[in-house]
Amino acid sequence: MQDLGIRVLFDGENGVRLLLGLVVTLKLSIITIIASCLLGTLMGLLMTLRNPIIHIVTRVYLEFIRIMPQLVLLFVTYFGLTRAVGINLSGFTAAVIVFILWGTAEMGDLVRSAFISIPKDQYESGTALGFSKLQLYRFIILPQALRQIIPPAMNLATRMIMTTSLVVLIGVVEMLKTGQQIIEANRYTAPSAALWIYGTIFFLYFFSCWPLTILAQHLEKKWEK
């Protein structure tokens, strides 16, 4: 019975379908990660300005997004926005919106804390050496800030990839959904398919995220000194 289960993976186009599901997962991840990096940097820089209104607005946004489980945000957007605005959002679009909102908030906080953690004397000694404001940022501040931002930003990216698994619950056909469909279709011929399919998905997620985690750890260690 066990080998029946594992055969399902190689039966017909099942394997290919699962990989196509992974492509949907990764597509969603990549789109939202890139958008979050760009918007998050912008938001982080805005937060370093000492404007009280910007400060309050960004803070409330950040805290609300952070405190809510991502699945709740997905539900509110998918079910709520559809009704409120009257447009019919696809699950995928709702997911893109939520992940960008969340990623931007987290990325913004990373960027903000990186910039405020650079000691004042770095700015002062740079200015004392005669660098212009632009040169100061280009050669002194930005390289240091990037070293602080990149490792946690990569960890954020892996968290976003993992969290995309939730979109199956708002009806997006991605890897998990494809897996469920394969299991359903082979319910009678291969009853143990669930074990193999979910096991495979587990490792597909692992191998999508693990390299990023390792790279982030490596960079963090390298730049620590």
Partner 1 sequence: MDWAFMQRVIPMYAAAVILTLQLVIVGIVLATITGLAISVIRYKKIFLLSPLSAAYVQLFRNTPLLVQLFFLYFGLPKLGIHISSEACAIIGLTLLGGSYMAEAFRAGLNSISPSQIESAQALGFSPIQTLRYIVIPQALAVSIPPLCANVIFLIKETSVFSVVALADLIYVAKDLIGLYYKTDEALLLLVAAYLIILLPISLAAAVLERRIRYAGFGNSRTL
What is the C-alpha to C-alpha distance for residues 145 and 223, in angstroms, rounded to an integer? 11
Helix, strand, coil percentages, rounded to 5, for the chain: 85, 0, 15
Residue (41 or 158) nearer to partner 1, CB: 158
CB of 136 to partner 1, least distance (A): 29
Residue (36 or 70) nearer to partner 1, CB: 70
CB of 202 to partner 1, least distance (A): 5
Residue (16 or 67) nearer to partner 1, CB: 67
CB of 126 to partner 1, least distance (A): 28
Biggest CA-to-CA distance, the chain = 77
What is the C-alpha to C-alpha distance for residues 15 and 128, in angstroms, rounded to an integer? 62
Distances 196 to 24, 155, 185, 188, 189 between C-alpha atoms, Å: 20, 28, 14, 15, 14
Residue (97 or 162) nearer to partner 1, CB: 162
What is the C-alpha to C-alpha distance for residues 156 and 183, in angstroms, rounded to an integer? 31
Task: Give residues in contact with partner 1 (CB under 8 A).
Answer: 5, 63, 67-72, 75-76, 79-80, 83-84, 158, 162-163, 165-166, 168-169, 176, 183, 191-199, 201-202, 205-206, 209-210, 213
